[in-house]
Structure formats: C-alpha cells, structure tokens
Amino acid sequence: MSEEGSLWIGLAEKLFGLILIIASIVLYYFTFTSTDTLSIFTGLFGFLGTIVLIAGIFLIIIKPPE
C-alpha cells in the first residue's frame, strides 16, 4: 500500500516541477517583452523567474524518500 502512495507522491512532485518550469518561462517572456514598462524592476522579475525555474528543476531532479 505504501508503494502505491509513494508512486503518486513522486508523480505529483514531477508534475508540480513541470508546472513551475512553465510558469517561469511565462514570467521570463512577460518580463523581457515589457522592459519599458518595468524599467528598474526588470532585474527583480528576472531574478524571481530564475528562482522559480531552479525550484522546478530541483523538484524534477530529486527522488522522493522511500
């Protein structure tokens, strides 16, 4: 029974990691296409997109504990 739960938890982690990567790509797109509007905050939103991307990659790479 615990194997089945572990499978779903691992799958959920991978799916959430993929969602975070897609969200960071969208954040990068909107950040770098509207640099005139954001002006001095472009770097901040680029940095936040990088943090979200790293979190998504981290969730995809790690293996859940057994």
pLDDT tens, position by position, 1-47: 556 677 888 899 999 999 999 999 999 999 999 999 989 999 999 99
| Model pLDDT, residue 4 | 67
| Model pLDDT, residue 49 | 96
pTM: 0.85
Q: How far apart are CA 19 and CA 14, in angstroms?
A: 9
Report domain extents, the chain: 2-61
pLDDT, tens digit (0-9, with 9 covering 90-100), for 45-58: 999 999 999 999 99
**Nearest to residue 59, comparing CAs of 23, 22, 26, 21?**
21
